[in-house]
Structure 1
Amino acid sequence: MQRLFEFIFNHYVYSLALAVVTYLLIQEFFDTAFKKFNPITPMLAVAKMNESDIQIIDVREAPDYAQGYIEKAINAPLSKLSEQLPKLTSDKKAPLLVVCQNGTRSLTAAKTLAKAGFEQIFVITGGMDAWTEDYKLPITTQRKQKASV
């Protein structure tokens, strides 16, 4: 036991790094075990969209959203998501499909939605990058109005 303490004091940086990595692994394990949302591929998302009335929430910022989005998606940027929660849907049991550019912001948005009480949350793995590049699925773009002469 004394040699263990001696090692920890002589190599405190390594010991601290081990403690931090262990903590992060345990935290990730509990987040995964108790998460209240489901990751799905873009193809499974299309199947969900076809079989049920699912609300699509795009958490990208407005300029990214304007470049192309899934049809019928609502733009609710992650930075303003908590403010827009009352506007999304009154039915907390209704299925929600969350998407971002590459799948990272949508995980944070899903956690926020789960804390708000939504029960059926699905996150598109890979985000819009996977939607358009990997699976070649269609997107909608906003057309600019032509100025009348």
Structure 2
Amino acid sequence: MDFLLSQNNLWILLIALASGALLLWPNLIGGGRATARIALADAVGRINRENGLFVDIRPETQFKAGSIPQARNIPIDTLEAHAGSLPKDRPIVVVDTRGQEAGKAVTQLRKHGLEQVFSLEGGLNAWIDGGLPLKKS
């Protein structure tokens, strides 16, 4: 017990506890849930089973160059304005190029009451790497 009560050791213990709390903070406040990533196979299965929707947040020019068939294009800068038009009772998988920007979109959509929102791990690149078809407009 003397070890814990020593002035120097007490500071070390407090710093360790604070560091641990800061590492856990995103999960404690729901941040881990807000950026839920979903693997390609799980995303396709969920979309098919539950009549879900792929939302492609890339700019329209990139979307037209190649996208997931039946995906809806809502560029990220207009996403908040279109959030009300998305189904609240079906899963939504957000797609970008590499899976890096989709987490922000997931957070935005969850703030609008959409609960079943996920980002596609690896983005459209994962779709292409998986050998799945692309639609070109």
The bucket for the TM-score relative to the shorter chain is 0.7 to 0.9
The letter for the 2-side match of 1:95 is P
Identity of aligned residues (%): 28
Relative to the length of structure 1, the TM-score reads 0.70
Deviation per CA, 1:44-83: give whole Å up to 9, x if none: 2121222121011111111111111111111111111011
Q: What's the counterpart of residue 123 of structure 2?
A: 127
Q: Distance in 2 between matches of 1:79 and 1:24?
A: 30
Runs of 4+, deviation exceeding 6 Å: 21-24
The letter for the 1-side match of 2:121 is T
The letter for the 2-side match of 1:77 is P
1:139 to 127, 131, 134: 134
Unaligned runs of 5+ in 1: 3-20, 143-149
Deviation per CA, 1:91-129: give whole Å up to 9, x if none: x23211111111111110000111110111122100001
2:62 to 61, 64, 70: 64
The letter for the 2-side match of 1:46 is V
8 Å contact from structure 2 (residues 46, 52) kept in 1: yes
Relative to the length of structure 2, the TM-score reads 0.76
Matched, 1:98 2:94: yes
In structure 2, relative to structure 1, the CA distance for the partners of 1:135 and 1:33 (3 Å cut) is same
